Every structure is written in C-alpha cells, then in structure tokens.
Structure 1
Amino acid sequence: MPLNGARARRDQIVHLATTTGLASVEELSRTFGVTASTIRRDLAQLTADGRLARTYGGAMALVAHPEASLRQRTGEAFEAKRAIACWAASAIRTGETVLLDAGSTVGALAHELRTAEGLTVATTGLTALQELADVETVQVECLGGTLRPLSQSFLGPLAEAALERMTFDRVFLGADGVTAEHGICEADLRQTRLKELMARRAEAVYVLAHSAKIGRRPFHTWVRLPPGWTLVTDAGADPHEIRALRAQGVEVTVVEEA
C-alpha cells in the first residue's frame, strides 16, 4: 500500500506501532512498498521527533501501553544494552557484593556476570535470578517481596526489610526515563521508594539506560538519587541532555556499540 509522501507514511507507521505495540523494519517495508533503508530513515526521524522508540530491528510506540512489559522491552535497543552491560560488568571487582535492579538492561548485565567469580549478587528482578541461578561461582541473594508481573520485579515491605539488613559495593538501577531536572522516572510509586532505598544502601550508584530513555519523562513518579551517581548510556543519547546531566553533577559514561 504505497503512500504519497514521507509524512503520510510516517503517520501511518506511528499508527501501526500504536495499535500493534511493535513494528519491524521488514514488516513496514512490505506494508508500505518501500525499501528497508527508507523505513530505517523514517524510524530515525520519528525517534528524533519523540514519536517512537527504536527497538532491535524495528520500533515500538511510546504510548502503545502506559508501561511496556519486560517481554516487550527485552529486544529493544539490543546492541546498546549489551554494550552498556559489558561496561558495567567491567566496573565490578572480584569479591564485591552488588545489587541488581529489575529490567532488561540490568538483566543484560546479569548475563555478563555468568562468567564472574567470587561475587555476591542480590537482586529484585526475576531476569537476574534466572541468569545467575546455575552459576556456582556467584552467590545469589533474592530480596523477595511482592511480584510485580509487568516488570518481573519484587517490591514492597518484604523487599524493603531485606535491604535494611545488607549493604553493597555497587547498585545498578534501571529506569523508564532519565532527565537532568528530575532524575530517573518510574511507572510505579512503590518502585521509586524501593530504588531510593537501594541507592542508599550502596557505596556507588549506577543507572543503566539506553539513549532512547535519556530526556524522556513517560510517567510522573521520580526517584531521588544521592549526589554523585553515574549514568551509563550509549552514543545515541542527545548531547544536550548529556550536558545538562553533567551540569547537575551526574557522572555520565557513554559507551560505543560493538
């Protein structure tokens, strides 16, 4: 169904992504009768305009669901997440005790830790538990609590009580959005409280977020982090947002995809 004009085609791409949740380059190319490179240019422009979020091999609508499930997010920005995870894994030292949040990027970090030795890893996320459950050289602590199915994470008073009994060398947090003005954005107030407690129990705080999340504010609940936290993102992040974050005292590490 070829369309006259890039603007009309891009409007239809947003409509399809909104109604289906995800849209691949191959599907869009067939639907609109244009080349894959044309679709990639469309997706790049729509992402720059804030109308779509790029995924691994396609795009997803920013407003298709109030909050994307962990399953939906797993394939999003795959290479960027892997690069972020590799950098984060290299920051961890043998013998440390680290705390992993839930989320797909932190889950990618857990995967990188499968070859680690002499670590203690505590987590609130099912993905990290599944990645490390059979790794004999890593001691795994599950904080427990109430399972939140959409994010595949544990939270609530039981998780908070467990945190009060431990301290950590490093904590790695995920985020639904990151801004210089407010910090990190989450969909659920219980998540913001838990992340603040996690940050307070660690000597070093890292937020792992790929570039599409930088400058985004999809929800109205925010995590207050202690000064001196580190954002780890990829090279696609808006330079203006990066400068603003650094002006607020945030240490920003930008990694390159392999």
Structure 2
Amino acid sequence: MKEKRLRQILGALQESKYLTVSQLAAKLAISTSTLRRDLDELVRRELVVRSKNGVIPASEMRTDTSVSFRTGVNAQAKVAIAKDAVKLIKSNSVIFLDSSSTVLNMANYLYRVPNVVVVTNSLMVVARLRGSSIPVYLIGGQMSERSHAFMGPLAEQAVQEYNFDYAFFSPVVITPQGYAAETTVEAASMRKAALERAQCGVLLCDSSKIGQHRVYNLAHINDFRYIVTDDPERPANTTATVLRVKTGGLK
C-alpha cells in the first residue's frame, strides 16, 4: 500500500513538476500527515526535493527549476546572505542583479544605498522594486517561464551596453573544482556576459550549493572579488575575499 502511494506521489510530481504539500495531498486524496511521512521517505531515497514552498522530482534539480520552489530552499540563509551583500555596494553605483532567488532578496535592502541604479534580467527583481525610487533597467530577450528571467543571444547582446560597478550572482552550485555552475547553458552564458561587464563580481551561495555538480560553468570562484556565504569553512583556497555570514553581520 505504501509503495503504491509513493509511486502515485512520484507520478503526480512528474506530471506537474512542482506542487505544494496541500496541492499534492488534495490531488491524491490523502492526509497531509501521511503525505509528509511519505515525502520523508522519498527524500531519503533521493527521489524528490522539498523546500518550505513545495516539492519537485529530484530530476528537476538538473533543469531550470521553478523560481517558486527555489525561493523556499534555505530561505533564512539566503536572506541573511543577501542582506550582507548589499553592504558591499557604494553610493552612486550601477549594479547588475541576476535572476536567482538569493539575489532577489537584495531588492528588499537596496533602499539603504544612496543613488543606486539597478540593471537586471529578472522580472521578479523588477516586481520587487516596483514603487520604489530606485531606477531599474530590464534586459530583454527570450523569457524563461520557470525562472521569470530573460536569457539568450538578445539578452547577452543587451548586457554589453552596460558597465557595472558591481554584479551579483547566485549560481545553482559551486562544484568541487571551484566553478560556479548552472543547469542550463542559457543561464550560464547570460551570467558570464554580465560578469564580463562588471568591475566587481560578487558570488552569493548558501552552504547547500557548495560541492555539488552541474553541467555548465559560469566562472571559477577566483574570478569573483567577493564570495558571501553562510558556510563556516567552504569555499577555501580562493583568491576571492570570502565573507561569512553570521548573526550580527559579516565576519
């Protein structure tokens, strides 16, 4: 009976790619308590991945994952990292913000930086800054429905028109070899184009991303001036300045 239920859960997730716990429970007509126990088992078997916002099949972690899902993964650490990353920005700066869920949190604290100008390929960043006094420029191109971001040749061409004082990125992973890496070539190529236009590249990564594998490299960690992370030890042996987030700010 349990194995049948587990197969039904996996089938529903493969069909929808992303569901909240309440949606999944309603779809399968089971209680949320039973579902949570089943999900614990599927996580143990490495067949699904959970965040506070919902559940996806493990196979989705190697595709352009839904932004709704990503915002719930290690959310507290991402907010702390983003908040401290804003402290690096000097007044009168032009900055690039990528379409990651970690960098998105920076939009909540940019009001602290006088005369900052934002360039981004993320619709989520634009929405977050709507109504503020911060000038925002959106780079166009081909839109990803999952990440709500513009990528592709047109976006990469558009980013060449700018010179950034700072550019902020949060890749899907940092590989054991020290590369910031992405699941899609489009995401890696777009971020690489923006990094090339920046005087100062800043890498944001929570501890869960470090030591993982993905296919497409954005850049080596040594290509960034700063790395902001909640990991107490990793990454190590890098020429970048590593700022380790703790309660009370940067160390």
Q: TM-score range by the shorter chain?
A: 0.7 to 0.9
1:106 pairs, out of 103, 106, 109, with 103
Aligned to 2:86: 89
How big is the shift at 1:107? 0.8
Q: What are the superposed Cα offsets for residues 50-102 of structure 1, whole Å, 9 maximum, x if unpaired? A: 77656337876533563421111122211111101110111112211111000
Is it true that 1:201 corresponds to 2:197 in the alignment? yes
Counterpart AA for 2:218: V
Aligned to 2:151: 155
Is contact 1:102–1:151 with CA below 8 Å preserved after alignment?
Answer: yes
Is contact 1:182–1:222 with CA below 8 Å preserved after alignment?
Answer: no
Mean alpha-carbon deviation: is it higher for 110-119 or for 127-136? Answer: 110-119
Task: Report percent identity of matched pairs.
Answer: 24
Is contact 1:80–1:257 with CA below 8 Å preserved after alignment?
Answer: no
Mean alpha-carbon deviation: is it higher for 201-210 or for 219-228? Answer: 219-228
Aligned to 1:227: 223
Structure 1: which 5+ residue stretches go unaligned?
Answer: none
Q: What are the superposed Cα offsets for residues 22-76 of structure 1, whole Å, 9 maximum, x if unpaired? A: 676xx89822798xxxx9xx79x95xx9776563378765335634211111222
Aligned to 2:183: 187
What is the CA–CA distance in structure 1 between the aligned matches of 2:58 and 2:128, rounded to whole Å? 28
Counterpart AA for 2:155: A
Query: What's the TM-score, normalizing by structure 1?
Result: 0.74
Query: What's the TM-score, normalizing by structure 2?
Result: 0.76
1:63 pairs, out of 44, 59, 79, with 59
Q: What are the superposed Cα offsets for residues 183-204 of structure 1, whole Å, 9 maximum, x if unpaired? A: 1111221221221111111111
Is contact 2:228–2:243 with CA below 8 Å preserved after alignment?
Answer: yes
Show structure 1 runs of 4+ deviating over 6 A: 49-52
Aligned to 2:28: none
What is the CA–CA distance in structure 1 between the aligned matches of 2:164 and 2:224, rounded to whole Å? 16
Aligned to 1:74: 71
* C-alpha spacing 1:18/1:56, structure 2 compared with 1 (3 Å): farther
How big is the shift at 1:180? 4.2
Counterpart AA for 1:145: G
Aligned to 1:252: 242
Counterpart AA for 1:209: C
* C-alpha spacing 1:151/1:23, structure 2 compared with 1 (3 Å): closer
What is the CA–CA distance in structure 2 between the aligned matches of 1:134 and 1:59, rounded to whole Å? 32
Is contact 1:206–1:231 with CA below 8 Å preserved after alignment?
Answer: yes
What is the CA–CA distance in structure 2 between the aligned matches of 1:15 and 1:254, rounded to whole Å? 42
What is the CA–CA distance in structure 2 between the aligned matches of 1:210 and 1:119, rounded to whole Å? 25
